Structure 1
Amino acid sequence: MFIVLRLFQNKGAIISILIILLYILLGVFAPYVAPYPPNEVAIEDKFDSISLDHWLGTDHLGRDVLSRLIFAIRPSLLMVLIALIISVGIGSVLGFIAGYFKGIVDSIIMRICDVMLSFPSYVMTLALIGILGIGLENILIAFIMTRWAWFSRIIRTSVMQYVEMDDVKFARTIGISHFNIIVKHIVPLTLADIAVISSSAISSMILQISGFSFLGLGVKAPTAEWGMMLNEARKVMFSHPEMIIAPGAAIIIIVLAFNFLSDALQIAVDPRFSTHMKKKQVKRGIMT
């Protein structure tokens, strides 16, 4: 509760949350918000400039850029959120098991994580896309397979700290089941840590899916996706700069929002991360 209160005292966090919620709502209600269908072709209207009919103009096929930008939220953000939730779910379960029970169980899970983390995520993702093929579903599967181990290792480290707390030791002593101890005593304490690493991870996932789509390895045409829109606009980036500015700005804004939220969450969880607090501590001689 105190973490939430501290979070909402941060203006940057509030703005970031509002931006993220706006993106999510636009993506969910895209068919009702977008002025045109995303793949509606009108060759006679190609490269129309910004107007009341087309607020961001049209592309090389006469498709409304604003409509495609809104529909692109679905693969670029909403699908990435689903992949993130699955990755966090798998990583959390294994991290809780490894951190709580330790011993041989911990060793087995961590050795598997070591194998998964021994390859750079970009290289691993590219390899999986090469094996599974190009497409949104395959790139999301690749994200899940390359991310769960990272979440598992971080959550396991967090759990191992909380297992040594007095209330957890007391719960074990009086015979409360392991499941109830994890759910009631450890999970609530780790939620803030999970939120911090999740908000940080999703930024890189958004950039990756946009990058792969830009290279032709992600979402297939004619599906609207920000990276795909950048790829389509690069040939006319000087004659029609609005074509490349719109999807580029959409990516930058949402990535910055998640980065600011991640920083704000970290400060809310541990105020010592605040620059303002660090300056005070330095003045008092607490930190050097």
Structure 2
Amino acid sequence: MGSTAKQQPDREEVAAPESRFKNLMKKLVRNKSSLIGGIILIIFTLIALSTLLSQFRILPFDLMTHDPTSTDVLNDFESPSSEHWFGTDHNGRDIYSRIIYGTHLTLYVGVLSVAIGAVFGIVLGLFAGYYGRIIDSVIMRVSDVLLAFPGILLALAIVSALGPSLNNVIIALSIYNIPVFARITRASVLEVKSVEYVEAVRALGAKDGKIIFQHILPNVGSPIIVQASLQVATSILSAAGLSFLGLGVQPPTPEWGAMLNSGRSYMWDNPHLTLFPGIALVLIVLGFNMLGDGLRDALDPRSKK
């Protein structure tokens, strides 16, 4: 045939939509609150990781300048100097090294207690919101009873019953975090379970487990993520409060709340004993709160920013 084959028209290249994660990161970077909070948390996370890695001699350097638990009574109550950057406490221990070491304990307690509480709370909230009726009533009434107590008092009661230790603090804070996430998840499920796509999947014969975990859970994650960030800050403060009362991490393990407790008797003559641990605690809590505020603005579809 003499006729030439028709050339196909050029297809318009359609740009692939940005992933939700990439879009979220752009919003967080543009948000000053989340940016500052993220930088603070990255610094503390790197400090915690470097401390752990240096203990196993994986890193060639160590941020700690002294052994955080070794005592030197001949050099107690030293003011900040080139030898001891944050000074020494009543036992001659280097405060800077103790704060650096205590960073991973603080993050460990805060993040792990929220993670455990979130797992159980999300599952309970999913079932309460999806099934309703008697299951909803039982789960929500138990949650109301737990939330009726202030977080620190409930944790104090649990740790007092179990005994003072790091693991018991995590258990106590996890129990308090469960009803918080259960209520948030339940409220989100009640909004999502009646939308069209969920009804369509149910009409096609999908089982409840598939509907709950594959279609409802991915669409209720935004408020959970925001609450998790804010809840870590609350758990860190509660853990420090328990250690301040002598029910958390036990001496001589460096922990910021315990350091505040041991230095409060000398704070008027030697303010550096409580000043630097207090600043570290304020900064890490501020970081999580600022990141949580930024996440709320970025994940809120009604936000105009």
Give the TM-score normalised by the residue count of structure 2: 0.84
Asked if 2 retains the 8 angstrom alpha-carbon contact of 1:24 and 1:78, the reply is no
Unaligned runs of 5+ in 2: 1-19, 56-61
> How many residues align structurally?
275
Asked if 2 retains the 8 angstrom alpha-carbon contact of 1:69 and 1:224, the reply is yes
Asked if 2 retains the 8 angstrom alpha-carbon contact of 1:83 and 1:140, the reply is yes
Asked if 1 retains the 8 angstrom alpha-carbon contact of 2:169 and 2:248, the reply is yes
1:151 to 157, 181, 194: 181
CA distance in 1, matches of 2:275, 2:301: 37
Q: How does 1:1-288 map to 2 (within 5 A)?
A: 1=20, 2-30=23-51, 31=55, 32-270=62-300, 272=302
CA distance in 2, matches of 1:88, 1:96: 12
Asked if 2 retains the 8 angstrom alpha-carbon contact of 1:27 and 1:78, the reply is no
- Kindly provide the amino acid, as one letter, of the partner of residue 18 in structure 1: I
CA distance in 2, matches of 1:245, 1:118: 33
Asked if 2 retains the 8 angstrom alpha-carbon contact of 1:80 and 1:202, the reply is yes
Partner of 2:13: none
> Residue 79 of structure 1 aligns to a residue in which SS?
helix
After TM superposition, give the deviation of residue 145 of structure 1 in Å. Answer: 1.6
Q: Deviations over 1:234-277 (max 9, x none)?
A: 22223222221100100111111111111111111226567xx7
CA distance in 1, matches of 2:269, 2:188: 52
Name the one with the larger helix percent.
1
Partner of 1:283: none
- Kindly provide the amino acid, as one letter, of the partner of residue 43 in structure 1: V
Q: Which stretch shifts more, 60-69 or 175-184?
A: 175-184
CA distance in 2, matches of 1:130, 1:158: 35
> Residue 8 of structure 1 aligns to a residue in which SS?
helix
Q: Which stretch shifts more, 79-88 or 48-57?
A: 48-57
Give the TM-score normalised by the residue count of structure 1: 0.88
Larger Rg: 2
